[in-house]
Structure 1
C-alpha cells in the first residue's frame, strides 16, 4: 500500500472519529437524551468542525509520521493537535454565539484523544502483536542434520531437550543406505546428500547442520557444494579433534567459513624436525605484526624457542601480539623491536645485539596495484630492505634465513612480483658465498591476510554491495594463514641453503565463484540481494598465477606438500652491482626508469597489457 493511500485512509478514519467523538460527548452528557437544539447545532456545524480539526492535524504533521514507530513523542504531538483544534472550535462557537455546557468540551477533548491517539497507536499494537505471533512461529528454525551418527544424534537430543534454542530437527540426511528410512531420536532419515535440495524444499528447511566430525575436508566440501544449492544457512560441527576436545558440545557448532570451501586437509607436521630446528633458539621475525608474521610468532611459540624477536614498524600490532602470546605462553621471552628494514644501521644493530639463530623475513609491501603506482617504495622496502636484513644476517653469522616469497614472483607482470623475484635471486646468489643458509618459501594468496580479497568482499557485503571482481575468469591459489605458516616453518626446518621451496597450493580458485560463495555464506543471494560488478583487470594483474618459472624444474621433499624449485643462480657480484644501480635510479630517476631497469635485472618480468 502506497504512502498517499495510507494517508487518505487515515484522513477518512479521522473524519469518522471526529464526528463520532462530538456526538458521543453529547450522548454521554445527556444520558442518550440529547436536546433537539444541540442536535441541530451538531448537524449544521459538523462539516466546519471536521475541516478545522483536519487542517490542524495536517499542520501539526499527524499525517506524516510513521505510526508503526509511534512513541511518547507522537503521543505528545496528538495531545497538542487535539487541544489546539478544540480551542479553535470553541472560538468558532463563541463567534457563532453557540453555547454548550462547559463539561461538553472536556468530554470532546478526552474522547478525541482516545479516538485519534488510539487509531494511531492501535496500528503499532496490532503490528507488534502480528510480528510477535509471526516471530513465535518463525523463530522455531526447521533444521536438517547431515550425518546420522553419534554427532547427529547428540544434536537432535540437545535441540529436543532445550526448546529455548528455537531449533526443531525435521529430517536427517545420510549416505548410508542401511540407515535411510529409519529414525534417529524420532527424526526420519530420508535420503542421501544428492537429495538435499529436494528435501529442503519439501520440508521447508531453514538451516542445515553438517554433523560429521570424522569426515575429511573433501567430503565436507562436497556436502557444502550441495547445501549451497539451497538458500539455507549452513552450519557445521568442528573436526574430530575439536569435537572430542569439546566433549561433543553443541556450543562448537559454527557457520561454514570460506576456508571450509577450499577442502584442504590439515597439515601434518614433522614435529620432531621442527622442534629440533626451533627449540632453545633465538628467532627473529621481521614484519612480525603483520598477518603472516604474527601467525609465524604464534606457531613458533609452540616449539619452546629461547626468545622470539618481533620486528615491525607499526607498534600497535606488535604490542597486541606481545600481549596475546604472553597470555598463552607465560614463560616465553619476547622482545619487541620497532624498526624499519629500510634502516640499514638499525637492522645491523638489532641483529648484532640480539644474535638471532634464525630469521623469518616476512616484512614486505605486497599490494600489487599500490606498488604498481608506487614502484620506488616497492624497491626501497622489498628489495633494499631485504638486502639490509640479508647482509646483517650474513655479517653476524645467523644460522638460517627464511624469506617469505609469493607466486607473483613467477614470471612477474607487476613491480611487486618483480621485486620479490629479485629478492629470491639475491638470497640464492649470496647463499653461495655465505655461512648462513638462505632459503625462500613461495606460495599463493592467504585467506584473511591483510590486503587479501576476502576481507574486502566481506566489507562490501556488509555495506550491501556491490562486490567487485576484476575479471570473470581470474583465478588464484589460496591457503589458510595457519596452513601456510606451518609449511613455512616446516620448510625452514628442512633447509640446507639456496632452495626456493614451493608449497602445494591445491587447485586454483575462481575469484568470481569465491565472491558468490561468500555472499551465500553471508545469507544472501548473489546478483539478487548483493550485486557483483566486473571492474576490469588492474595494472600488472594476471588472469592466473604460476608457481614455477620457465625452465625451473621441481624436486620433491620428505613432506608431501613441500617441493623445491631447481635453482637458477646468478653471479653475486654482478647482481650486487645491478641492485646498486637500481638503488641509484630509485633515488634519482623517474618511475618509468625504475621499471625499465627492473625489467633488465629480472629477465622474466614482462609488463602485461590485457584487454578486459
Structure 2
C-alpha cells in the first residue's frame, strides 16, 4: 500500500505566513527606528540577507520549539513560553552569526546591538498579538449555534483558575447554554474585581443573597481542591433555600484535557467525606524487598474471588489498568460475574479475561481452578458481610468467611501462588458478632499459614465502603426516595468510611509494602457519625432533615457496636514505607495452629454450641513459635464469651 506524504494544512501554512510577515516587518522596523528613519546604504545588503536567510531560519527554529503545534484560539502561558524561547534563541544566533562568523567570509557591516534587541521585542510582541487576537475572536464569535431557550444563569463559587476556565468555556460554547453572571470568593483581594470579564460580587457566606439578587438558576462550585468541611457549609447554605448546586470534580478526578465544563456534576457523598480522597501510586517502589504493585501484576495471571461484588468488581477494574497477562474472575453469582466480565471486555478488549463460576467453599472445585490457571496473585474478596443477617445464620458466616478462606490459603500455598491477599474488615477488631468473628478467625488462620509457607500472605482491613451493596448509603437513599423515614439505630453510632476506589487502592498497594503474615490498614481519618451521614444524604437530595424527611431512631440491632476500631488491643500499629498505610503487629508473638483449629471449628459447627468459637481469640490457644519454624499443637483452653445469641 502506498502511503501518501502528509502535507501541512492550510491553517498551518497561514500561521507560518503570518509569522513570516511579522518577522520581516520587525527587522525592517528595527533598522528604521535605530537609524531614525534614515538607514545607511551600507546596511541594505545585510537587511536583504536577513530577509532571505534569517527569516526562514527563524521560522524553522520556531517549528523546532513546537510553536506550530499550538492551537491559536487556545493560546496559553505555555505557548507564550515556547515563542519566547524560540525568538530569544533566534536573536542570539543572529547576533553570533552576523557579528562573529559572517565578517570572516563576507564584507558586511556588523549588526547593531540595538537593532537585535528591537527586532526581538517586535517579533515577540507581534506573534503573541496575532494569537491573542485569534483567541479573542473565538471568544467573541462562537461558531456553535445559539440554543433556542434562554441561557441558564449560573454563579460560580471560587474565582480561581478553574472558575476562570469555566467562565471562558461557557462564553465560547453556546451549546452549554450557560451564562456566568458572577463569582463568589472569600479572598478579599478578589472582591469587586473581574475574572474573564465577570465580576466577583462578594463572599461565599452571602450566597443566598446574591442568588436572589442576580436571579441565579444554579450554583456551581469551582474549587476542585476545597476541603470537605467547606463544601458541606456551601451545600447547607444552598439547600436551606432549595438552590440547585453542582460541583467540579476533585483534582484526582479531573481528566487531563482542556475542557472542564463537560465534567460538571452533582455533589456526591464522597465530596463530604471529611478528608481528601486518598490516591496511591502503584508504579512506586516503596520497599527494597518488593517490586511496585504494578510490577507484581503486569504480565502475570491474577485471580480475584468475589469478582462480582462491589469490592471485587472495582478491584478487577483497577487490576485491568495495570495490564496483567490474564485476569480470572471467580464468583458463584452468574449474573454479577456476567456483568463485570462484559464491562471489562468492552473497556479492555486486549486483556485476556476468564470468568469462572465457582463457590470458594467447594475445595475440590477451587483446587482445579488454581491448578488450571496457577495465578501469581490471589485477591480473596468473596465473603458474607451483613452483620444482622449473619447473626441469624452464623454457620454460613463461619463456613464461608473462615473455613473457606483458610482452605483457599492452604491451596494457594500448595500451588505456589506468590502472594495471597485476604480482604478483611474493621468488624474483625474485638468482634461482637459472628460476621466479625468469622473475619477475625480468617485473619488469624491466614497469618498462621504464613509462618510455614513460601507464599506471602497479607490481610487488608478497612472500614465501611460508601455505596457498596447493602451498605447504609443505598439504604438511606431508598428510604428518602420513598419519602422517609430514614432509620438510624443510635444517634451516637460512628463508623469509618472510605470510597470503593480507596478500598481497592489499599488492597493493591499492600503488594508493595506488606510483609507475610501482616495485617494492613489505611489512614482513614476520624470516624463519622451515622446520624450526621443521614442528614448529609437528605440534604444532598434537596430536602431538610426533620422537616421534609424524618430521621427515626430504631435501636442497636443484635451484634452491632456503637463504635468500630481499626486496631485491636493486642495489636501494635507501625509505619510502612507509605505514609498513609500502616501494618499491625501482635504485641505477643503467637499463631493459631491451622489444621487443629480448622478441625475444631468444623466440629463445633456440627454441634449446637457456637459460642465456644470465641475461645480461639484467647491467647491461651495460640502456639509460641518463631516464624517459618513449623506449627505446634497446643492444648485448647476454652473461654466463656459473653455473647447474647441463640444456641444454633
Same fold (TM over 0.5): yes
| Corresponding position: 1:209 with 2:220 | yes
**Counterpart check, 1:233 vs 2:251:** no
In 1, the alpha carbon distance for the partners of 2:251 and 2:416 equals 44
1:403 has 2:422 as partner? yes
Which consecutive unaligned segments of at least 5 residues does structure 1 have?
Answer: 1-137
Q: 1:471: which partner in 2?
A: 490
Q: Distance in 1 between matches of 2:186 and 2:215?
A: 21
Which has the higher mean CA deviation after the structures are superposed, 319-328 or 561-570? Answer: 561-570
Secondary structure in 2 matching 1:283: strand
Distance (Å, rounded) in 2 between the aligned partners of 1:415 and 1:400: 27
Out of 417, 429, 439, the residue aligned to residue 420 of structure 1 is 439
Q: Is the 8 A contact 1:476 1:509 kept in 2?
A: yes
232 and 607 in structure 1: CA distance in 2 versus 1, 3 angstrom threshold: farther
> What secondary structure does 2:188 align onto?
coil
Unaligned residue ranges in structure 2 (runs of 5+): 1-148, 285-291, 620-639
TM-score (norm 1): 0.71
Cross-structure match for 1:51: none
2:509 alignment counterpart: 490
1:597 to 612, 615, 628: 612
Aligned residues: 468
2:527 paired with 1:508: yes
Structure 1 CA distance for aligned equivalents of residues 512 and 169 of structure 2: 46
**Which position in structure 2 is the counterpart of 1:252?**
263
Alpha carbons of 1:278 and 1:341: their partners in 2 closer, same or farther (altered >3 Å)?
same
Separation of aligned partners in 2, 1:584 and 1:414: 20
Give the CA deviation at 1:582: 2.0
Correspondent of 1:358 among 365, 368, 377: 377
* 1:240 Cα deviation after fit: 4.1
Structure-2 residue corresponding to 1:181 = 192
Determine the C-alpha separation between the residues in 1 that align with 2:319 and 2:448: 28
- Please give the residue correspondences for 1:86-105 in structure 2 after superposition, counting only pairs within 5 Å: none
Seen in structure 2, the aligned counterparts of structure 1 residues 603 and 193 have a Cα distance that, compared at 3 Å, is farther
State the match for 1:271 in structure 2: 283
1:336 and 1:401 map into 2 onto residues whose CA distance is: 19
2:402 is aligned to 383
Structure 2 partner of 1:61: none
Q: Which sits farther off after the overlay, 411-420 or 169-178? A: 169-178
Deviation at 1:203? 5.2
Q: Residue by residue, what CA displacement relative to the aligned partner does 1:95-137 show, whole Å, maximum 9, x if unpaired? A: xxxxxxxxxxxxxxxxxxxxxxxxxxxxxxxxxxxxxxxxxxx
2: distance between equivalents of 1:511 and 1:597? 32
- Structure 1 CA distance for aligned equivalents of residues 249 and 264 of structure 2: 7
Structure 2 residue matching 1:321: 3-state secondary structure: helix
- Greater Rg by CA: 1
Aligned counterparts of 2:349 and 2:175: Cα–Cα separation in 1: 39
**1:113-512 mapped onto 2 (5 Å cutoff):** 142-156=153-167, 159=170, 167-184=178-195, 187-200=198-211, 205-213=216-224, 215=226, 220=231, 223-224=234-235, 227=238, 230-240=241-251, 243=254, 245-262=256-273, 263-272=275-284, 273-512=292-531
How far apart, in 1, do the equivalents of 2:177 and 2:541 lie?
Answer: 21
CA distance in 2, matches of 1:264, 1:184: 28
Instruction: Tell whether the 8 Å contact from 1:365 to 1:381 is kept in structure 2 after alignment.
Output: yes
Contact 1:477 1:507 in 2 (8 A): yes
CA deviation after TM superposition for structure 1 residue 376, in Å: 0.8
Q: Which residue of 1 aligns with 2:599?
A: 580
Which of 271-280 and 223-232 deviates more?
223-232
* Aligned equivalent of 2:576, options 547, 557, 568: 557
**Structure 2: distance between partners of 1:551 and 1:198:** 55
Shift of 1:215: 4.5
Cα shift at 1:231: 3.2
Higher relative contact order (CA 8 A, sep 6+): 1
Greater mean deviation of Cα atoms: 161-170 or 387-396: 161-170
SS across alignment from 1:516? helix
> For the structure 1 residues 162 and 351, does the alpha-carbon distance in structure 2 shift closer, same or farther, using more than 3 Å as the test?
closer
- Contact kept? 2:513, 2:578, Cα under 8 Å: no
Tell me, what secondary structure is at the counterpart of 1:245?
coil
Q: Give CA deviations for 1:56-106 in whole Å, capped at 9, x if unaligned.
A: xxxxxxxxxxxxxxxxxxxxxxxxxxxxxxxxxxxxxxxxxxxxxxxxxxx
SS in 1 for 2:154: strand
> Does the CA contact (< 8 Å) of 1:582 and 1:597 recur in 2?
no
Counterpart-to-counterpart distance in 1, 2:305 and 2:502: 19
1:576 CA drift (Å): 3.0
SS at match of 2:400: helix
| Counterpart Cα distance in 1 of 2:298 and 2:542 | 45
Residues 288, 294 of structure 1: 8 Å contact kept = yes
In 1, Cα distance between the equivalents of 2:171 and 2:244? 20
Could you tell me whether the CA contact under 8 Å between 2:432 and 2:559 is conserved in 1?
A: yes
2:523 equivalent to 1:523:
no
Aligned pair in 2 of structure 1 residues 269, 218: CA closer, same or farther (>3 Å)?
Answer: farther
Aligned to 2:54: none
How big is the alpha-carbon RMSD for the aligned residues of Structure 1 and Structure 2? 2.6
Contact kept in structure 2, 1:411 and 1:606, CA below 8 Å = no
Give the C-alpha shift of residue 510 in structure 1: 1.0
Shift of 1:540: 0.6
In 1, the alpha carbon distance for the partners of 2:450 and 2:502 equals 27
Task: Answer whether contact 1:193 1:226 (CA < 8 A) is retained.
Answer: no
User: CA 1:517–1:221 in structure 2 vs 1: closer, same or farther (change >3 Å)?
Assistant: closer
Cα deviation for residue 223 of structure 1 reads 4.8
